[in-house]
């Protein structure tokens, strides 16, 4: 979903209630486009940032949420115990990672948020999957962590 295009301006509006009800009933996930509040401007950078994302997570605590683009930096807030607890059903994907972050994002998010919460994404056709793979290959990552990110987490969720 693209929150700004679908009536989510603060993150806790009831506009999603009917969708979330169906998602929970059928054990479905909701994938949300997320943007970071700082850094360079680019086409596709919108206003659904961690402050709004957090309201969404709190409003729907039982919903499995996947936040695109590293969740706009949301995993870094998992250093706050109450935020980490609230994000028990929240995951992030790596889509467009090379446009936004250096390869060390993988190491830091694994340490802070957990490798089991990261899903491989490329944002194709914006960029080929090989660009994200180059980031993964640029850092030291054990085989188990790499497998979780590339397919294990998705297999478990789906």
The domain locations on the chain are: 3-157
Q: Report the mean per-residue pLDDT for the chain.
A: 95
Residue 2 tokens read as 């693209």
| pTM, 2 dp | 0.95
pLDDT tens per residue, range 19-35: 999 999 999 999 999 99
What CATH number does the domain located at 3-157 have? 3.20.20.140
Evaluate if residue 6 carries a pLDDT over 90: no
Non-local CB neighbours of 70 within 8 Å, separated by 6+ positions: 34, 36, 92, 93, 94, 97, 100, 101, 105, 109
Each residue of 65-100: pLDDT tens digit?
999 999 999 999 999 999 999 999 999 999 999 999
Cα 119 to Cα 89: distance, rounded to the nearest angstrom = 13
**pLDDT value of residue 36:** 95
Determine the pLDDT at residue 54. Answer: 97
């Amino acid at each position: 979903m693209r929150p700004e295009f679908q009536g989510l301006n603060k993150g806790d509006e009831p506009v999603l209630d009917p969708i979330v009800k169906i998602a929970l009933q059928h054990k479905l996930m909701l994938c949300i486009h997320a943007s970071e509040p700082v850094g360079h401007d680019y086409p596709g950078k919108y206003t659904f940032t961690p402050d709004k994302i957090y309201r969404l997570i709190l409003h729907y605590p039982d919903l499995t949420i996947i936040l695109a683009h590293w969740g706009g930096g949301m995993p870094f807030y998992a250093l706050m115990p109450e935020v980490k607890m609230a994000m028990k059903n929240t995951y992030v994907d790596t889509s467009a990672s090379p446009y936004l972050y250096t390869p060390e994002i993988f190491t830091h998010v694994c340490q802070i948020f957990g490798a089991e919460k990261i899903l491989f994404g490329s944002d194709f056709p914006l960029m080929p999957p090989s660009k994200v793979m180059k980031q993964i290959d640029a850092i030291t990552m054990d085989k188990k962590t790499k497998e979780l990110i590339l397919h294990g987490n998705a297999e478990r969720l789906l």
